[in-house]
Structure 1
């Protein structure tokens, strides 16, 4: 720390205890708590006498004002002149200003004893800095002032009170959240708005599920329209876009075999024969007399019966 002092000239006899020479009489100088011959107390830089002059003590060495300012004084960032010992030196990040030059780069108001910001190698008062450079909340659009807590997510930022669910407006805080497009949702609102819901019960499907005709179902909700038997993992068919188990579909909608009267469902690859308004399972399409299969063969009808050609001849003879 440099200290400005003034050397004092005295006229009296005194011994210099810490000097290598004795001062017997005449004029001498007292400075830095020591006694000096008048010609020996000089500027450390230029050797000019400091007796009766103001000087600056730097690293335990005395300097005249001119040398001190030339060697050690800082240059003002604003006016680019030396900041002399009689001026207050204000510094920030290795830069220095005269007190009168420490001004906002935008509005020129004095920044002495005021909050200020630095940007692009310049200094600004609080209002000017905020207007030009302060980041703004993605929620309300207002700037972040000193002391405001900032919530950040993927290059976006919010005031703590603005970082809330876009549906229920509850502040997220440290709770989990789900982003979608440019919006933020709490878990409950996201599930309510976007989670997959069963077309039958309209409740959220959290795990598993069945898709039928591009629509989601709970496994337990995907049942036969007629008997409510679960169809998940089972063979089924549909009518009018409604699912039915094989038994119910056969009973309700299938053609019935003329021979056994049971439904012909076609499930599992079952083949059947149709003739006029009558239908038979492949296995049931047999001659009424000899019981031989008529599938792929010629046959003759005899009332409700069908006969192979041989049995028909025998019956006519």
Structure 2
């Protein structure tokens, strides 16, 4: 004879089967809650995958349209001649574009990206630029004249702020409106951020042109292309960073109203030497500079207000990031600079100081130059008797080594 528990747990399971036991159907609460959680997770994952597919499809469609429009712009109605020789490049990209896609509907983002590309291309036409690359959120524009590149950058930043963007887009943290007030003692709202924020890098150099016969499009190859893209990645949203060497050569009186400041020297990915950069902003957006803060030249990250930092070599560094270029030891005191690189004293003399002809150790103090070599004062002695010469002694050279008069006569068999 079986008991009630045997009927409910015929297989020894921890959860009872659902069955009729001379009464109404009973669904255990624990079982139903677990099932609801599984269903909720299933539909959430399904919705997430559907969102990813929608974004991927939208981005592919947007990229295809961008490529077609680029060819029409460069080779169709306007027939822009590609720059050659020494070329100025502007790399521009939308900050945190992936987050913008995630937090807005695909149609909203597509309309925003199309509006952004229209602004870029209209300015490119006005300033005689050549569209080299076009991605969904980034462009690489080439200019024959550096002045056109800088004015293009200022114009695009202003146009992005003045554009009327959809409210859904503006509710996203990366596109939200930001006002700056209090001008001349009065509260006058001034819009300094609105819509997608653009990172911009500008640099100039000699490059090789690469013509693609299939597409009829001109591409470029050279370190300056990579430098420009590296500067762009370093910039913050809404910021224009210009290679200092380019900025110094510009006719400042021909630039649209602007403000600027030196932001320091930075180590770009793929480059050994530091690159000095200047921040340039439209005068109407000068308050943006307060948002950008100070960037560490080593890690290229913001230095927080309460963090200590070192100001050296025209740049700012986290305290623990200002290190010897050779041994990577943190520099807390005296350091020596060579080729815009900081060294501790030990490594500077080890790798950069002249070496003594006799002992081959680095010379860190006084020295003697003789016989086309450099010597420690204590090492410049007769090679036979090892006596140091006095100021009245004559030194003779034999086999590129110093000898006193007596020893020289001896080693040369008495001939002088």
TM range (shorter): 0.3 to 0.5
TM-score (norm 1): 0.37
TM-score (norm 2): 0.29
| Larger helix share, 1 or 2 | 2
Structure number with the bigger relative contact order (C-alpha 8 A, sep ≥ 6) is 2
